[in-house]
Amino acid sequence: MKDAKPLLLLLGGAGALGVLALAASSPGRQAASRALEAGMDWMDRVLARVSKHEGRHDSLNLNYDGAGLSFGIIQWAQKPGSLGVLLAEMQRTDPARFATTFGPDWPSLLQTTAAGSLAPVGGQVLWREPWVSRFQAAGRDPVFVAVQNRLAKNGEHFQGAIEAARELGVATERSLALLYDTSVQQGPAFAKRLARRVRARFTGGGAAAVSYPELLATYAQLAPAHFRRTTPPTSPYPASHIEWRKTGDVWHAWAGRFDLYAGIARRRMGIVNDPDLSDEPVRLPEPTARTA
């Protein structure tokens, strides 16, 4: 991003996109050109960049963060209910294949995950056998791999990133990767709220312009801020699977073995500084009735 010229003009109105001036050549632009030649569009590249943090189609998180089983290229998680959304789409796509892959308890699997419950299914929690092997098999099945790819690009997380881009007022491959990563890890609603907050920070005082690097860096730095305290917490963290722990001279929120503040900060700034992401403007899909 160092090749970008300094000013990004923020246009009035929540749906307006910024005007970005760029240098003639950059590593990110070259990478984007190679991707286009390989048949990848900007959405494919954003998905590929974010899934580097999440895993392969058959990757599993076995309740290491207290959110139950998480699965696939964007780690659809059990407790928030996103795993249930993925499984329901897989079952609709090929009911017979789904029943064969997940066994006779598949109706209970759909019901439990749709509710965001961590209860056992068929006598066992999902992060133990036989469910681990069944999910791994689903993650290697070409039909269900295609479902993951489709939902990752057309589901609520990518839509949340696109809506956040409209709120923020800028759409580039890099900014969409930042927003999508936030939507996947912290939820679409949070990604959009944070975009509004960052935009208001730079426009509320009448400022007409802000540097593009500063805009994205501010978003990245604010994303994990609520997971850090400089004073001792006076009450438990609102989410039951997250707890405050003293980390050095401050307090961070932890989910199981994961330091949420440090991990999110590292992920977001890694995207901001990634030399392989393009800063060329991209065209967003037209808003649907749901997202308008």
> For residue range 247-271, what is the model confidence (pLDDT) as tens digits?
999 999 999 999 999 999 999 999 9
Whether residues 80 and 110 share a domain: the answer is yes
- Residues 67, 8 share a domain: no
Residue position matching structure tokens 């707890």: 243
What pLDDT score does 238 carry? 92
Q: Which residues pair with 69 in a beta bridge?
A: 62
- For residue 233 the two structure tokens come to 């917490």
167 in the same domain as 267: yes
135 and 170 part of one domain: no
pLDDT tens-digit map of 44-100:
999 999 998 889 999 999 999 989 999 999 999 999 999 999 999 999 999 999 999
On whether residue 180 sits in a domain, the answer given is yes
The residue assigned the tokens 């927003």 is 179
Name which of 155, 153, 132, 145 is nearest 90 in CA terms.
145
pLDDT in the model for residue 191: 97
DSSP 199-210: HHHHHTT---EE
Chain segment 9-40, per-residue pLDDT in tens: 443 333 333 333 333 335 555 554 444 444 45
Domain range for 191 is: 4-51+161-226+258-271
**Is residue 217, in this structure, part of any structural domain at all?**
yes
Can you say how many angstroms the Cα of residue 53 is from the centroid of all Cα atoms in its chain?
A: 10
How high is the pLDDT of residue 101?
98
Residue 172 covered by a domain: yes
State yes or no: pLDDT of 242 exceeds 90: yes
pLDDT over 90, % of the chain:
76
Residue 278 has pLDDT above 70, yes or no: yes
* Cα–Cα–Cα angle for 44, 149, 124, rounded to 5 degrees: 140
pLDDT at 26: 52
Q: For the segment 145-171, what is each residue's pLDDT rounded down to a tens digit?
A: 999 999 999 999 999 999 999 999 999
Are 36 and 168 contained in the same domain? yes
**Is residue 123 scored above 50 in pLDDT?**
yes
Q: What is the mean pLDDT of residues 275-288?
A: 88
Q: Are both 169 and 114 inside the same structural domain?
A: no
Instruction: Note the pLDDT of residue 53.
Output: 85
46, 66: one domain: no
Same domain as 167, residue 36? yes
Structural domain count of the chain: 2
Cα 277 → chain centroid: 16
* Distance between first and last Cα of the chain: 30
Q: Compute CA 40 distance to the chain's CA centroid, rounded to the nearest angstrom.
A: 19
Half-sphere exposure of 189 (CA within 13 A, CB side): 1
The strand pairing partners of 245, in sequence order, are 252
